[in-house]
């Protein structure tokens, strides 16, 4: 598995280094796409300059404060992404600055290539490696624990236990004594009523038996 990971990472680093040759500008295609979208959105903004480095940009009824020196905007999109937001773009265009020069350095091509500067060198197959004189690393010995070994898998902490009966969690109990909800007959505060047994007299039909004796 480690050999497969090594080969996969070696290919990936090489592909990402070649990907930088397809860039149209000095910033990544993703950052350039976001910048172009912000440039299109900046055409709907109105700007007011304080004469120094502060700008007020009105966008859809909201006023945002922009500082092109600190590269900040009150919408916080410029600080979070490192790419000039639509309000920052209109402020840079007002001063005739190029917004692409105010993109964070993490999106530059030079920074991107520095990330993949070191590559993984190819190597021969394990069958071609020279034999090692060091002792072979063996796994630790398995210690037999006391008792019968368990055959069931280890269940997760949040896994529900499966039984033959359904769980009564959340079910509302009804007392069979007072017929109120919230408890059962065993925890009922009202003592159970013992039904009185009435003696019932059974009436048997009288049968007249006549014996006839023939002499």
Reported as a single tens digit per residue, the pLDDT across 2-13 is 889 999 999 999
% of the chain residues with pLDDT over 70: 88
pLDDT in the model for residue 80: 95
Please give the full DSSP string across 152-206, using - where no structure is assigned: SPPPPTTPPPP-SS---TTPPPB-TTT--BSS-STT-SSPPPPPPPPP-PPPPPP
Confidence of residue 19 (pLDDT cuts 50, 70, 90): very high
Reported as a single tens digit per residue, the pLDDT across 26-52 is 999 999 999 999 999 999 999 999 888
What letter would DSSP give residue 22? Answer: G
Question: How long a stretch of residues is the chain?
Answer: 215
Cα–Cα nearest to 111, from 82, 73, 85: 82
Please give the full DSSP string across 39-69, using - where no structure is assigned: HHHGGG-EEEE-SSSEEEEEETTEEEEEETT
CA atoms of 34 and 83, how far apart (whole Å): 8
pLDDT in the model for residue 154: 85
3-state secondary structure string across 87-142:
HHHHHHHHCCCCHHHHCCHHHEHHHHHHHCCCCCCCCCCHHHCCCCCCCCCCCCCC
Reported as a single tens digit per residue, the pLDDT across 164-182 is 677 677 788 888 888 888 8
Phi and psi at residue 29, in whole multiples of 5°?
-60, -35
pLDDT in the model for residue 126: 82
Reported as a single tens digit per residue, the pLDDT across 54-68 is 899 999 889 999 999
- pTM for this one? 0.57
Contact in structure between 49 and 42 (CB atoms under 8 Å): no
Residue located via tokens 């300059």: 49
Phi and psi at residue 108, in whole multiples of 5°?
-75, 155
User: What residue ranges do the domains of the chain occupy?
Assistant: 27-115
Q: What is the mean pLDDT of residues 21-26?
A: 92
């Amino acid at each position: 598995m480690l050999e497969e990971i090594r080969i996969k990472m070696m290919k990936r680093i090489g592909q990402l280094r070649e990907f930088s040759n397809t860039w149209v500008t000095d910033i990544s295609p993703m950052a350039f796409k976001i910048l172009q979208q912000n440039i299109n959105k900046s055409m709907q903004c109105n700007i007011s300059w304080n004469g120094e480095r502060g700008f007020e940009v009105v966008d859809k009824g909201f006023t945002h404060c922009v500082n092109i020196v600190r590269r900040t905007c009150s919408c916080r999109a410029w600080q979070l992404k490192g790419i000039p937001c639509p309000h920052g773009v209109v402020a840079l265009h007002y001063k005739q600055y190029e917004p692409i020069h105010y993109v964070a350095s993490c999106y530059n091509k030079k920074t991107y290539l520095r990330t993949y500067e070191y590559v993984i060198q190819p190597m021969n197959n394990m069958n071609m490696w020279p034999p090692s004189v060091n002792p072979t690393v063996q796994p630790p010995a398995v210690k037999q624990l006391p008792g019968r070994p368990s055959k069931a898998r280890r269940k997760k902490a949040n896994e529900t236990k499966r039984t033959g009966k359904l769980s009564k969690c959340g079910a509302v109990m009804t007392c069979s004594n007072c017929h109120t909800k919230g408890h059962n007959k065993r925890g009922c505060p009202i003592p159970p009523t013992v039904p009185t047994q009435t003696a019932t007299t059974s009436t048997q039909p009288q049968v007249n038996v006549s014996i006839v004796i023939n002499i």
